[in-house]
Amino acid sequence: MTDPKRELLRHTVATMAYRGSKAIRGGSEEFGHFVSGDSTRTPLQILAHIGDLLEWGLSLAKGEQIWRNSEGESWAKETERFYSCLTALDQFLASDEELKSSAERLFQGPIADALTHIGQIALLRRLAESPIRGENYFVAEITTGTTGPDQPAPKFEFG
């Protein structure tokens, strides 16, 4: 029997892939090092932190507690890591392996935090004069299990 909480987590991971793709697509190494203030992270540091959160989430799901603080090698490498971490988490959630952390705690911790940071990257795109277009995400074609860089085109973007 399919666990509805795991399925919702999987859809959330796919949503993160879709929204994250939009925020990071077209980002350059130059953008990765954009500084918006004296005490803020760069987009590259934020993207690396998202990878850390996703790896942490997977470790929690497996009953471990593994955390690292990555600074980020390059925009390209951290983008690749973003997708591989999403895919690894999704594959675990799709498996029959026991979930050793509650779905609620996984959502309230690493998953919600990663979604917040994707929003930060989107905001930094605007501040760096490389904005992404707004979108009606309710009608977006987000499919559970789709966690790679090949995301569907937006159905309805705003001006």
Domain at 75, CATH number: 1.20.120
- Evaluate whether residue 147 is within a structural domain: no
pLDDT for residue 114: 98
Give which of 140, 142, 138, 144 is closest to 155, Cα–Cα: 140
pLDDT tens, the chain, 159 aa long: 589 999 999 999 999 999 999 999 999 999 999 999 999 999 999 999 999 999 999 999 999 999 999 999 999 999 999 999 999 999 999 999 999 999 999 999 999 999 999 999 999 999 999 999 999 999 999 999 999 999 999 999 887
- Evaluate whether residue 155 is within a structural domain: no
- Evaluate whether residue 20 is within a structural domain: yes
- Evaluate whether residue 152 is within a structural domain: no
In terms of phi and psi (left: phi > 0; alpha: psi -120 to 50; beta: otherwise), the region of 86 is: alpha
- Evaluate whether residue 130 is within a structural domain: yes
Q: DSSP string spanning 28-74?
A: -HHHHT---STT---HHHHHHHHHHHHHHHHHHHTT---------S-
- Evaluate whether residue 81 is within a structural domain: yes
Containing domain of residue 99, as a range?
4-139
Q: Rounded to whole angstroms, how far apart are CA atoms 57 and 63?
A: 10
pLDDT for residue 63: 98
- Evaluate whether residue 157 is within a structural domain: no
pLDDT for residue 1: 57
- Number of structural domains (the chain) is 1
- Evaluate whether residue 125 is within a structural domain: yes
pLDDT for residue 151: 96
Q: Considering the entire predicted model, what is its pTM?
A: 0.96
